[in-house]
Structure 1
Amino acid sequence: MPKRVLQGPVVSDKGDKTVVVRIDRAFKHPLLAKVVRRSKRYHAHDENNQYKVGDMVQIRECPPKSKLKRWEVVTAEELAAAAADRQQAEADKADANE
């Protein structure tokens, strides 16, 4: 099962090796039928303390690292490698089905 990947701005970098990322979402209210905006804050692991307030980052699920941290910051290189692995696996699966 693939891990969820979310994207949002860093709103706090005060913790050591931790950033807080705000994830915004919009959905249609079931009764009022209008678009409602909600946001949630996620604590994410930042190993090198390289991200600062205002940076746009992508985070993905991971095993718990502390009481609040269940997410880790993903670099662009890691995302590209994961996408390449996924495409390779799909290609192998398609070849096996033929």
Structure 2
Amino acid sequence: MSAQEQTQAAEKNTRTLVGRVVSDKRSKTVTVLVERRVKHELYGKIVARSRKYHAHDEKNEFHMGDLVEISEGRPISKTKAWIVTRLVEKARAV
């Protein structure tokens, strides 16, 4: 397997999530809230579950309210191992 094939295989295996930026106060870091819907094990009701991820934003280009896609990468700090890959939807101005 060549180096290029290994890189492509690694890119296919990386997890990607879509969530909303809830904090952009820190330099080169955004906090992304990812919501998912799961069925309650006992009662069967669909329940919303959420989790916050710290993601790397190299150019400080994403702001609160933006819908972004993040992908898993190498650990950058103690709590940050995700990288913002693209902007899905810009936040609406109020």
TM bucket (normalised to shorter chain) is: 0.7 to 0.9
Tell me what 2:19 maps to.
8
Superposed CA RMSD: 1.1
1:91 maps to none
Distance 1:33 1:12 in 2: 33
- Distance, in Å, in 2 between the alignment partners of 1:64 and 1:5 is 15
Give me the whole-angstrom Cα distance separating, in 2, the residues matched to 1:47 and 1:35: 36
1:50 is the counterpart of 2:75: no
- Name the CA distance, whole Å, in 1 between partners of 2:52 and 2:62: 16
Distance in 1 (CA, whole Å) between partners of 2:38 and 2:24 is 28
Is residue 2:45 matched to residue 1:34? yes
> Post-superposition, which runs of at least 4 consecutive aligned residues in structure 1 deviate over 4 A?
none
Separation in structure 1 between the aligned mates of residue 24 and residue 75 of structure 2, nearest angstrom = 19
Gaps of 5+ in 2: 1-9, 88-94
Structure 2-normalised TM-score? 0.78
Q: Counterpart in 2 of 1:93? A: none
Q: Distance in 2 between matches of 1:75 and 1:67?
A: 23
Tell me by how many angstroms 1:75 deviates: 2.5
Identity across the alignment (%): 50
Q: Deviation string for 1:19-52 (max 9, x for gaps)?
A: 0000001010110111111110000000000000
Q: How does 1:1-98 map to 2 (within 5 A)?
A: 2-75=13-86
Query: Larger radius of gyration, structure 1 or 2?
Result: 1
Please report the TM-score for the alignment, with normalisation by the length of structure 1.
0.75
Name the one with the larger helix percent: 1
